[in-house]
Structure 1
Amino acid sequence: MLDRLSALPATVGTVLATAVTAGALLAATPVLAQPAATSMAAVAAKIQPHRAIYAMSLGSARNGAKVSDVRGRMMFEWADACDGWTTEQRFQLRFVYSEGDDMAMNTNYTTWEAKNGLRYRFNVRKLVNGELDEEVRGEANLQADGAGTAQFTKPEPQEMELPAGTMFPTAHTLAILDHAERNEPFFTRTIFDGSDAEGPTEVSTVAGKPGAPKESGKDPLLKVGKSWPIRMAFFPLQSDSAQPEYEMSLRLLENGIAESMQIDYGDFTVNAVLEKIEALPKSGC
């Protein structure tokens, strides 16, 4: 599951706190209709393209956890490419295991997503201890109902069907903000992010009550509008398990900037603390 760190908030992705179990949420929450294009456009207009640096560290480890420490950095960039959104995530992480071994993981994950949410390109390159561990590359297309196909060129050529209702990561982030703004806190979506060749994931999201940005005394980019605590639970698409593969929590501003994040793998958690934020230009398109 450690490779899922490469999918962080492409779907802020990928991170948040509410006292509702993910399994109960999946059982009790119907899949809602897609947000209206007008409300999504209003949400997208507030997005601030940016580059952020996060310090990553072990949050907690339960008894019996195999991981005893995590240290590193993540760079996350969300840019406006006129007809689409681009994201880039770079991880440099070192995992120390309880038996004494360690592992260095470097990941570069780049995407382009059409602003209409119907086309998507992805490229992932993962190194473990300096050696190439995995490459994933391809593109995906959706119809208006969210059904579509993904074509992989790496690790090997294959075509994958995407079920109706599928969303790509940036569209999902905008949907989170849209639901939060409209005080519709619970929803479930099928997300395809291309971070591996295993296909879509079912993501249950809970948005908490809005508040002022917590970091209001720092960078002006963090003083904008509302912020929400968000929690997402990630399930394999065909799984009947009530337990998610992992969960992600974050504090998300209405301009799309994440103030803080936590990834919960069950037996240990990884924290991401914002160290530096830089505004990128809007395209004006």
Structure 2
Amino acid sequence: MIDPGGGAEQAALMRGEAFSIVAAVLLVSQPASAQLQPHRAEYALRLGSAANAPRIGTAVQDIALDCSGWHIKRDLSSEIAFTPSLKVSIASKLDGEEPSDGSAFRYRAVQIENGAHRDTHGTVEHAGNEIRAEIISAVGPEQLVLPPPTLMPVAAIGRLVEQLRAEAAFSPTLMFSAEAMGDVFQIDVRQVGSESLRAAPRWLDPVAVPAAQSWPVLMTFKRAREENPKALFSIRAQLFNTGVLDRLTVDAGIATVTADLQALEMHKVPDCPESR
């Protein structure tokens, strides 16, 4: 199902970056708690979309909100067995903070592949009419000017949810992704029929998601800083207006990874003076 020498796109998928990008798209911009509900969601990951596709790990996203803004924690762990003697162990962790107005994002990301660590941290913020990023990794600091109007991870979904609620025409969204080596992705979104979503696995108990609305969507990801970018992968999922995703199918061409909600805890929304 996967060629171990499948190239850069496959490596990105195997590190869990595709799922992490989806997790980043679970957030809202303005006002801080208008639609997104802080929550902790746990997902079961499988390699392939068949009913008997093997489980390869779990992913957890915890989104907390206090009066200083959003706090994001993501933790993905997986082991993929290509053959009985060839296994790949993968872990990805992210800690991020974003103020409620979406003006900045500070983060630390750690990725571990078969025991080899890659640690990066950075800051993305509006500076006048520009959006600047400083990303520090083992090779040293890198300064970037991001294409406008790049949105921070929390702000990216706000635009999508507002378009869905208003039944407005969709236009591409640019989103900064920390896990994808500090890159900017163009996300093209369209609403699809519910019949296009795969069925949830039978062995997984359904999880009730508190929400007033939900939409089946198809999201296509491209690298925004490339000229004439090609689609890297697409994601079909059920998006709830509380910010929870379920029944994700990540299609990267050479491989398919699915993520299904297996546990959900909703956090309380703080009562902040500025939100009264």
Q: Give yes or no for TM over 0.5.
A: yes
Structure 2 vs 1, CA of residues 143 and 206 (structure 1 numbering), >3 Å: closer, same or farther?
Answer: farther
Q: Report the RMSD for the aligned CA atoms in angstroms.
A: 3.0
Structure 2 vs 1, CA of residues 96 and 131 (structure 1 numbering), >3 Å: closer, same or farther?
Answer: same
Instruction: Give the Cα–Cα distance (whole angstroms) in 1 for the partners of residues 247 and 135 of structure 2.
Output: 32
> Conserved in 2, the CA contact under 8 Å of 1:148 and 1:164?
yes
Equivalent position of 1:71 in the other structure? 56
Equivalent position of 1:251 in the other structure? 238
Equivalent position of 1:137 in the other structure? 121
Would you say 1:265 and 2:252 are equivalent positions? yes
Equivalent position of 1:153 in the other structure? 136
> Conserved in 1, the CA contact under 8 Å of 2:48 and 2:256?
yes
Instruction: Give the Cα–Cα distance (whole angstroms) in 2 for the partners of residues 144 and 259 of structure 1.
Output: 38
Structure 2 vs 1, CA of residues 207 and 150 (structure 1 numbering), >3 Å: closer, same or farther?
Answer: same
Would you say 1:104 and 2:74 are equivalent positions? no
Structure 2 vs 1, CA of residues 60 and 98 (structure 1 numbering), >3 Å: closer, same or farther?
Answer: farther
Equivalent position of 1:64 in the other structure? none
Q: Aligned with 1:167: secondary structure? A: coil
Instruction: Give the Cα–Cα distance (whole angstroms) in 2 for the partners of residues 258 and 6 of structure 1.
Output: 11
Q: Give the alignment partner of residue 162 of structure 1, picking from 142, 146, 150.
A: 146
Structure 2 vs 1, CA of residues 100 and 241 (structure 1 numbering), >3 Å: closer, same or farther?
Answer: farther
Instruction: Give the Cα–Cα distance (whole angstroms) in 2 for the partners of residues 109 and 259 of structure 1.
Output: 20
Would you say 1:9 and 2:22 are equivalent positions? yes
Q: Which ranges of 4 or more aligned residues in structure 1 deviate by more than 6 Å?
A: none
Percent identity between matched residues is 20
Q: Which amino acid aligns with 2:184?
A: P
Structure 1: give runs of 5+ residues left out of the alignment.
15-34, 62-67
**Alignment deviations for residues 114-133 of structure 1 (CA, whole Å, 9 cap, x no partner):** 1111111111101112332x
Instruction: Give the Cα–Cα distance (whole angstroms) in 1 for the partners of residues 193 and 159 of structure 2.
Output: 16
Would you say 1:117 and 2:89 are equivalent positions? no
Q: 1:238 Cα deviation (Å)?
A: 3.4
Alignment of 1:206-217 (within 5 A): 206-208=190-192
Q: Give the alignment partner of residue 283 of structure 1, picking from 267, 270, 274.
A: 270
**Alignment deviations for residues 238-284 of structure 1 (CA, whole Å, 9 cap, x no partner):** 33456411112211111111122121111221111111101112122
Instruction: Give the Cα–Cα distance (whole angstroms) in 2 for the partners of residues 153 and 112 of structure 1.
Output: 17
Structure 2 vs 1, CA of residues 163 and 203 (structure 1 numbering), >3 Å: closer, same or farther?
Answer: same
Q: Which amino acid aligns with 2:38?
A: P
Q: Which amino acid aligns with 2:219?
A: M
Instruction: Give the Cα–Cα distance (whole angstroms) in 2 for the partners of residues 6 and 272 of structure 1.
Output: 8
Q: Which amino acid aligns with 2:35?
A: K
Q: 1:144 Cα deviation (Å)?
A: 7.3
> Conserved in 2, the CA contact under 8 Å of 1:90 and 1:108?
yes
Q: 1:148 Cα deviation (Å)?
A: 1.1
Q: 1:139 Cα deviation (Å)?
A: 0.7
Number of residue pairs aligned between Structure 1 and Structure 2:
249
Structure 2: give runs of 5+ residues left out of the alignment.
1-11
Q: Give the alignment partner of residue 39 of structure 2, picking from 38, 47, 50.
A: 50
> Conserved in 1, the CA contact under 8 Å of 2:73 and 2:96?
yes
Instruction: Give the Cα–Cα distance (whole angstroms) in 2 for the partners of residues 203 and 138 of structure 1.
Output: 22
Q: Give the alignment partner of residue 70 of structure 2, picking from 74, 78, 85.
A: 85
Instruction: Give the Cα–Cα distance (whole angstroms) in 1 for the partners of residues 24 and 235 of structure 2.
Output: 10
Instruction: Give the Cα–Cα distance (whole angstroms) in 2 for the partners of residues 144 and 183 of structure 1.
Output: 32
